[in-house]
Structure 1
Amino acid sequence: MDHNMKLYDKPFQLIKNGSKTIEVRLNDKKRQEVQAGDFIVFENIEKNQSIKVEVLKVIQYISFQALLKAYSNKEIGMDEKMQLSQKLAQIYQIYSQTDELNYGALALKIRVVSK
């Protein structure tokens, strides 16, 4: 199954060059449909670009904090010097803590199949 998701330019480029291998998302109804073996077409919302990735693994977490503790900053596409509190603050600019409590977090292990 193919899914479509949007990304800002920085994480998009990190996926494209192969350094970001974990996509962090809210485990909402739309993302609950994503399974290993599926494909995601990421659309760069700042530039007219898209990239297709294969989902290798889907891992559910109770919270973004638990998810972030499980992966290196490089894997999730964040600056190597960022502390956990800074990473959470960045995620909470996109997702609300209420949604996190209701749905939990999702780590999608991905690899690029076409640029």
Structure 2
Amino acid sequence: MIHQMTLWDSPFHAIKEGRKNIEMRLLSEKRKQIQVEDVIEFSHIETNEKLICIVTNLFVYSSFEELYKHHDKISLGYREDEIADPRDMLAYYKQEDIDKFGVLGIELKLSE
């Protein structure tokens, strides 16, 4: 199955440059459809540039705090000199939605 998602500039380039391999999303009904070996087409939110990725693993957690505990910050897209803080995800998702749905870590590899 092919899924389509948009990304802001920083995570888009982190995936493109191989610096990020886990995309973090709310575990909505739409995201529950994602399976290992599915394809995700990411579109840059401003330029519409595309990245094609293969899903290699899925990680389900009750919160971004749990997700951050189980994965290193580099795989989540942070640089070595940055502090990884799960509260960063509140810029994208409401706490009530996180509590209601849970979260998903999507492990990816760029398609050849």
Gap runs ≥5 in structure 1: none
1:98 paired residue number: 96
| Deviating 4+ runs (over 3 angstroms) | 81-84
The alpha carbon displacement at 1:92 in A equals 0.4
State the secondary structure of the residue aligned to 2:78.
coil
State the secondary structure of the residue aligned to 2:111.
strand
Identity of aligned residues (%): 33
The alpha carbon displacement at 1:80 in A equals 2.7
Q: Output the aligned Cα RMSD.
A: 1.2
Q: Which string of whole-angstrom CA distances, capped at 9 and with x for unpartnered residues, describes residues 48-99 of structure 1?
A: 3010000001110111100011111110002334445xx2222001001101
Gap runs ≥5 in structure 2: none
CA distance in 1, matches of 2:100, 2:58: 18
- Is 1:38–2:38 an aligned residue pair? yes
| TM-score (structure 2 length as normaliser) | 0.93
The number of equivalent residue pairs is 112
| TM-score (structure 1 length as normaliser) | 0.91
Q: How does 1:11-90 map to 2 (within 5 A)?
A: 11-84=11-84, 87-90=85-88
